[in-house]
Amino acid sequence: MTVKTRYFVIVSLLVLVVGLGTGLVAYYVGFPATAFFSGNAPDELRYMPSTASVVGYVEVREIMASDLRQRLHKGIASQAQDDGKRELQELTGINYETDIERIVACFDSAQSADNSGLILAKGLFDTVKIEALMREHGAQVQDYKGKRLIVADHFGRNNFSNFDRAGRPAEDASFALTFMEPGLVGFGSTALVRQAIDLHASGGSSAATNDDLVAHMRGLEGGNAWVVGRMDVLRERAKLPEIVANQIPPITWFSVRGQVDGGFQARLTAEGRDEESANMLRDVVRGFLALAKLQTSSKPEFQRFVQSLQLGGTGKTVSLSLDVPAQVFEALGALMPKQPGEQKPQ
């Protein structure tokens, strides 16, 4: 055996042994995919609890700049939209059209109903102004592990009130805001914001280490807004009457991926518990599609939308793709009652 051949054999065997060894360890220990690939999952997941059952993501700046949004803003209830934007800006100092780059939100079913939401927004924020405005409206500043936590007991329409309308203990419904790092603000239930600060300070088990969740997010790449979540957990949480719960096909995971540009394209995916439940769900959707086609046969403005609905998926997965052109939104806008002084859309 020549020296070259010896090296070839050694290198080949080394690659094989190391590869198979790593694979074997991963097989038995459960090597997370995230160890090798971070993919396009947002960094904000590191601050969200691993028990998050729903995670949503919105590229706010991209959507605000989209052609569809511009047309909708001009066409539908522009006055109401402007009022809402001004109110939020007066209350928090945040202009969602220009200040926020993207939002990642989660719903944690392990928390109580009033403490289950957390929103992380990335963008350009005037921290001093936001804090001053919130304090002005009744919020209090606390220190938690070196972070300034701006806590309000109740998020009212025009101010942060110290009273809970339902008469519950204020702690359960309290709302907090903190600046996790420059350009990243976290707000939501005080418990989850504190947990996010804990995760930021010391790391640990977070949504980013929830392999199932991250794996489902990977299928959503390419959209500027998406939601992924566990339907079975939500259903348990909702405590539906048995008669209603029995009518819902047993879905484990669901996801919605949307792309807003000149129109709106989306793909809704549901993962059934088994193939039988997926087939059941497929039949239900097929029935609804047939009904929608029947209902819109005399309405040409909605026909393109209905025709774009495509049922797909194999095995346990059921998917529904749709493409809503801007004209459909405009047609819907035209059907909405007009506010005094608002012009009819062009």
Partner 1 sequence: MLWSRRSVFLGLLVGAPMVMAFAIRMVAVTRGLPVINGAGLSGPTLFGILIWLLFVRFIVPVLGVFYGTSLIADEVDDKTITYLFTRPVPRSAVLLGKYLSYLACVVLLVLPSVVVVYFLVVPIGGHIGESFPSLVEDLGMIFVGLASYGAVFAFVGARLKRPLIVGLVFAFGWESTVLLIPGYLKRLSVAYYLQALVPHVMPQDSSISLLLQVFQELPSVWVSLLSLTGITVLGLWLAGRTVEKREYVLEQ
Q: Which residues bind partner 1 (CB under 8 A)?
A: 2, 4-5, 8-9, 11-13, 15-16, 19-20, 22-24, 26-33, 36-37, 39-40, 211, 215, 218-222, 257, 267, 310, 312, 314, 319, 321
Amino acid (one-letter) located at 191: A
195 versus 269: smaller Cβ distance to partner 1: 269
Residue 259 token pair: 């792309």
Under a CB-based contact definition with an 8 Å cutoff, are residues 186 and 118 in contact?
yes
Question: Around 340, how many Cα atoms within 13 Å sit in the side-chain half-sphere?
Answer: 0
10 versus 244: smaller Cβ distance to partner 1: 10
Work out how close the CB of 98 gets to partner 1 at its nearest, in angstroms, rounded to a whole number: 27
Residue among 330, 122, 106 nearest 213 (CA)? 106
30 versus 300: smaller Cβ distance to partner 1: 30
Separation CA 212–CA 104 (nearest Å): 18
Work out how close the CB of 8 gets to partner 1 at its nearest, in angstroms, rounded to a whole number: 7
Question: Does the CA dihedral 15-17-20-26 come out positive or negative?
Answer: negative
9 versus 290: smaller Cβ distance to partner 1: 9
Q: Residue holding tokens 């110290």? A: 162
For residue 161, the cross-strand partners are: 154
Question: H or E stretch including 227?
Answer: strand 225-230
Work out how close the CB of 293 gets to partner 1 at its nearest, in angstroms, rounded to a whole number: 20
Work out how close the CB of 282 gets to partner 1 at its nearest, in angstroms, rounded to a whole number: 14
Residue 219 token pair: 């299928």
Q: Residue holding tokens 């418990």? A: 191
37 versus 163: smaller Cβ distance to partner 1: 37
Work out how close the CB of 26 gets to partner 1 at its nearest, in angstroms, rounded to a whole number: 4
